Structure 1
Amino acid sequence: MSTTQTTTTNWFFACKTSDVPTNGGVCVKYKDEQIALFYFSRRDEWYATQNLCPHRRQMALSRGMTGTVKDEPKVACPFHKKTFSLADGRCISDETECSLTVYPVKIIDDLVYIGVDTLFAAI
């Protein structure tokens, strides 16, 4: 008997769009995870990443500075200034191996939903 694993995306309600500051972020709690949620008003784009900065292991990214590097959306840790891509989570400020987990975001009727992957084992 073999076991296969499948992944499904579960969408959870995070907040209202009005709860997120323009060109800023908030921290959203999902089960035991802290997720940083960002809204770029000038790009009209939403992003979600882990809130934990992998560099110094502090829950701080939702308070980071957002901006762009070569038209790529990014967030800089407010404490250490490590810069990460909001699109794919990689560190763009240097050549370190640390990166962020990113989550899909969707907006439905001014409500923000974040997608979290769940792994299932099927026999």
Structure 2
Amino acid sequence: MSGEAWMRVCDASSLSSGELKEFDYKDMKLMVAKMGSEIYATDRICTHAYADLTGGFVNEGERTVTCPLHLSAFNLSDGMPQNPPATVPLKTYKVKIQDNAIYIKID
């Protein structure tokens, strides 16, 4: 398919449950998160104010990450903010695991 690219991020076994891992691709600042057996990929900069979410707080039960600056929480599966002041969702990315490697789909 045209315009579809899968980028290898890291080994799946290198990511523990509740862990966020940051990485950059071109001018994009992204993160992957493991919650239980699920792996999510989103932008890592808060949509409210410039803050790196990998420095935030993880809630595995709710599958959220909370911004360390103004405490907006974001759902990792759909990027939706769970409380103010953030109102704009994070961009999310499709994830696949192949041969113990985590890949995300970059459009």
Which residue number corresponds to residue 47 of structure 2?
54
Say whether the 8 Å CA contact 2:48–2:87 is kept in structure 1.
no
TM-align CA RMSD: 2.1
Segments of 5+ residues of structure 1 without an aligned counterpart are 1-5, 118-123
Partner Cα separation in structure 1 for residue 57 and residue 4 of structure 2: 28
Partner Cα separation in structure 1 for residue 66 and residue 93 of structure 2: 17
- Deviation readout 1:39-95 (Å, 9 max, x if unpaired): 012xx100011011111112x112322225xx6521111222110111111111137
Once the two structures are TM-superposed, the CA of residue 102 in structure 1 deviates from its matched residue by 0.6
After TM superposition, where is structure 1 displaced by more than 2 Å over at least 4 residues in a row?
A: 6-9, 18-22, 94-97
- Deviation readout 1:84-113 (Å, 9 max, x if unpaired): 111111111137532100111111121010
How many equivalent residue pairs?
Answer: 107
Identity of aligned residues (%): 30
Which residue number corresponds to residue 121 of structure 1?
none
Question: In proportion to residue count, which structure has more strand?
Answer: 1
Q: Which has the larger radius of gyration?
A: 1
Q: SS of the residue aligned with 2:63? A: strand
Normalising to structure 2: TM-score of the pair?
A: 0.85
Q: Which amino acid is 1:13 matched to?
A: R
Q: Which amino acid is 2:68 matched to?
A: P
